Amino acid sequence: MEHTRWQEQSIIQALAHRRIILLAGARQCGKTTLAKQLGITLTKSPSASDPIYYTLDDVTLLDAALLDPKGFVSHGDELMIIDEVQRAPRLLLSIKQSVDENTAMGRYLLTGSANIQALPSVSESLAGRVRKIALKPLAQGEIMGTKPDFLRNALQQKFTKTKSNYSKDDYLDLAFKGGYPEALVTKNIKDRKRWHHDYINAILDRDLKDIAQIRRKDSIRKLVEVLAAWSSKYMDISSIGQMLSITRPTVESYINALEALFIIDRIPAWHSTDYDRVSKQEKMFLVDTGLITSMLGWTPEKVRLDGSLNGKLIESYVYNQLIAILTADDDEYELYHYRDREKREVDFIIQHEDGSILGIEVKAGSAVSKDSFKHLKWFRDRMAKENPFTGIVLYTGEHTVPFGEGMWAVPISAMWS
């Protein structure tokens, strides 16, 4: 089943104003499907030409691109779609030359399953010519066909009072499924687990060599499992290295490679403060909760009965929804977390381009009390300063309830309802 992706209209609009669009995201998150669908949509205009479509997963096309990059990208004003462009980084210089000679807008739509700027062979940034758009695995809102309005509504405190129909078990079920389109249609948990393992193996076997020279593939695969267990935790490179018996520089290079392949994300600590007790540690998340459960061999029964596990999984699931909304919204946002030496923590701090701030705490429980807001209130009073601040606790309960000025308890389902 195909879903309308939130980024579709952003790409269409960007093609009218930019010469190159780069659609970047993990393999199997839907980039190719979206690119092809855009090609169909754009040709519905009477004056539009059929787009040229190349995928560099095709060995013949890849060889042609590597042999004659300038000839490969040469074309007129019509749209050229090049899928998996990271496999032939030399194309970027030829694309730059092409768009400098022919400045018509919307000539190239590139997709990449690796952060092109992280490739060791890339020196061309395409600065001023390219608009980069991120695509994440499917968010629940995309699956249900709703709009990515949650952050905008939350900052304006426009919450519906409709009772949520989701239970904690429902959220755990959604988290086990994750957001990779192909994994979503796999009904059997064991088959889904096999898909996720095959997915990681394929990326490490095929795409890793484009990013870094990794000699110990067994170690980096084990690292994926360790990072799955680390999802929603604060990065501690030394501890991770000790678990794997590899040096800190090696761990850092492996983590950088996995980040460049869009397997993990890192969230920086809130830094807009002169408070000297603030932690500088980054927070780490795997990009998909289905991947987490499969890599760790979790079962729904095991997670349901373990408060630590279901708390980690639900926070990671909320992150996956948040980052999909952030990357789809036309407004600019910055995402952080907050933690200090007094153990005050706020799971997510989101600052809008106008300076307003949204603080989000995630609770796996179905009940919220005033004590659930103490860190949000402290952050508002001490850190937000003059910036408008809204604090919400996302939880697995049914009701949207105010807890004082600017503070709300909100069901997790509000992210897509």
Output the pLDDT for position 276: 63
**Confidence at residue 217, expressed as pLDDT on a 0 to 100 scale:** 77
pLDDT score for 412: 98
Q: What are phi and psi of 45, to 5 degrees?
A: -70, 135
Q: List phi, psi (to 5°) of 71.
A: -65, -35
CA distances (Å), origin 217, targets 154, 204, 243: 43, 7, 16
Segment 311-339, tens digit of pLDDT: 999 999 999 999 999 999 888 999 999 99
Domains recognised in the chain with CATH numbers: 8-134 (3.40.50.300), 140-415 (no CATH)
Q: What is the dihedral of CA 234, 238, 242, 247, to 10 degrees?
A: 130
Rounded Cα distance, 247 and 408, in Å: 45
* pLDDT over 70 (residue 58): yes
Least confident of 63-72, 273-282, 381-390: 273-282
Tokens of 248: 């800190």
pLDDT exceeds cutoff 80 at 411:
yes
Of residues 111, 133, 141, the one with CA closest to residue 3: 141
Mean pLDDT of 265-281: 80
Amino acid at 190: K
| Confidence category of residue 222, pLDDT binned at 50, 70, 90 | very high
Short-list 226, 241, 339, CA closest to 281 = 339
Evaluate whether 251 touches 223 at the Cβ level (below 8 Å).
Answer: yes
Give the separation between CA 239 and CA 267, rounded to whole angstroms: 19
Average pLDDT over residues 74-83: 94
Count of helix runs (H) and strand runs (E) in the chain: 18, 13
* Cβ-proximal residues to 13 (8 Å cutoff; 6+ apart), any chain: none
Cα 371 to Cα 171, 318, 352, 377: the distances in Å are 23, 21, 26, 10
Residue 385's pLDDT band (boundaries 50, 70, 90)?
confident
Place of tokens 């979790």: 298
Structure confidence at residue 125 (pLDDT):
63
Query: How much is the pLDDT for 206?
Result: 83
**Cα(263)–Cα(287) distance, rounded to whole angstroms?**
6
Q: What is the dihedral of CA 305, 310, 312, 318, to 10 degrees?
A: 180
What kind and span of H or E run contains 208?
A: helix 208-211
- pLDDT tens-digit series, residues 351-377: 999 999 999 999 999 999 999 999 999
Backbone angles phi, psi at 351, to 5 degrees: -110, 125
For range 195-210, the mean pLDDT:
89
How many Cβ atoms are within 10 Å of 302's Cβ, its own excluded? 13
Question: pLDDT (tens digit, 9 = 90+) per residue, 103-129?
Answer: 999 999 999 988 876 665 555 567 778
Q: Is 71 helix (H, G, I), strand (E, B) or coil?
A: helix
pLDDT given for residue 368 in this prediction: 96
Taking the model in full, what pTM does it have? 0.93
Per residue in 290-315, pLDDT (tens digit) is 999 999 999 999 999 999 999 999 99
What pLDDT does residue 44 have? 64
Q: Does residue 4 surpass a pLDDT of 70? A: yes
Given a contact cutoff of 8 angstroms between Cβ atoms, the answer to whether 95 and 80 are in contact is: no
State both tokens at 220.
Answer: 């980096």
Greater model confidence, 356 or 205: 356
Is the CB of residue 386 less than 8 Å from the CB of residue 357? no
Whole-angstrom distance, CA of residue 110 vs CA of residue 89 = 12
Residues in the chain: 417
* Residue 211: per-residue pLDDT: 73
Strand pairing class (407-411; 401-402): antiparallel
7 alpha carbon, distance to own chain's centre: 13
Q: Which residues pair with 269 in a beta bridge?
A: 337
One-letter amino acid for residue 86 of the chain: Q
Are 130 and 24 within 8 A, CB to CB? Answer: no
In the block, tokens 């904690």 appear at: 168
- Between 38-47, 214-223, 254-263, the lowest mean confidence (pLDDT) is in 38-47
Q: Percent of the chain beyond pLDDT 90?
A: 74
- The percentage of residues in the chain with a pLDDT greater than 70, rounded to a whole number, is 95
288 confidence band (pLDDT: 50, 70, 90): very high
Residue 118 has a pLDDT of 62
Element holding 191 (H helix, E strand): helix 189-202
Can you give the pLDDT at residue 275?
A: 61
DSSP per residue, 86-120: GG-TTHHHHHHHHHHHS--SS-EEEEESS-GGG-T
Average pLDDT of the chain is 91
d(CA 4, CA 2): 7
Q: Which residue has the higher pLDDT, 352 or 219?
A: 352
